[in-house]
Amino acid sequence: MRPPFSISQITTLGATFEADLRAYAAAGVDGIGIWEIKLPEGGDEQAHEQRDASGLGRAAAVPAVPSILPLPLMDGPTDPSERIEAICASVHRRARFEPSSVVCLTGPGDNRDTLVEGLRTVTVLLSPWLPESSVTRLDALGTPDLALSGAALNGGRVQRVSPLEPLFPKPS
């Protein structure tokens, strides 16, 4: 049995959300990774219905402001605290799409303290919807990227957060 296969919408950046749904379904992939920048403003309900009708499964979602620190080729605030607020707002907006996870990038740079503190802040801001047992070892992450479990994104409310272990250990 093959593992499920999905395509992230960043790979077809110039296409519309609806065109992505048609193309990915026609290609026979299992799921779609939704980038918030691809969703039409004010069109969440329609986009949700279109995704359901496409038969595509739910893969990782990426906020419009996807990182704690600014990315050189993407718009968004420069202040990390404003970026964190945008990430949290996106998590709540995306919850209705029930993604398998929400990706939060660190952004370029080596300011690990700012990045880890940013992830802690995301966790604190979302804490009303997180059980205490879900907040684990942010300090232990070599690369502090964060994923929110899709099983936790239920009914528009985040229920738990689960930091990913780094694929590559932090250099000593």
**Length of the chain, in residues:** 172
125 shares a domain with 55: no
Give residue 42's pLDDT: 87
Q: Which helix (H) or strand (E) holds 32?
A: strand 31-33
- Confidence class for position 145, pLDDT limits 50, 70, 90: very low
157 shares a domain with 79: yes
Among residues 32, 59, 86, which one ends one of the domains?
59
79 shares a domain with 1: no
Domain extent at residue 66: 62-172
**For the whole model, what pTM was predicted?**
0.70
Among residues 37, 59, 81, which one ends one of the domains?
59
6 shares a domain with 77: no
Of 53, 39, 114, the residue nearest 84 (C-alpha): 114
69 shares a domain with 153: yes
69 shares a domain with 51: no
98 shares a domain with 22: no
143 shares a domain with 129: yes
Q: Is the confidence at residue 166, as pLDDT, over 80?
A: no
Number of domains composing the chain: 2
135 shares a domain with 152: yes
80 shares a domain with 50: no
pLDDT tens figures, 117-140: 887 777 777 666 544 444 443 333
86 shares a domain with 161: yes
Give residue 152's pLDDT: 35
Of the ranges 2-11, 23-32, 36-45, 141-150, the best mean pLDDT one: 23-32
81 shares a domain with 163: yes
Using CA atoms, how far apart are residues 109 and 95, in angstroms rounded to an integer? 29
Cβ neighbours of residue 145 closer than 8 Å, sequence gap 6 or more:
103, 104, 105, 106, 164, 166
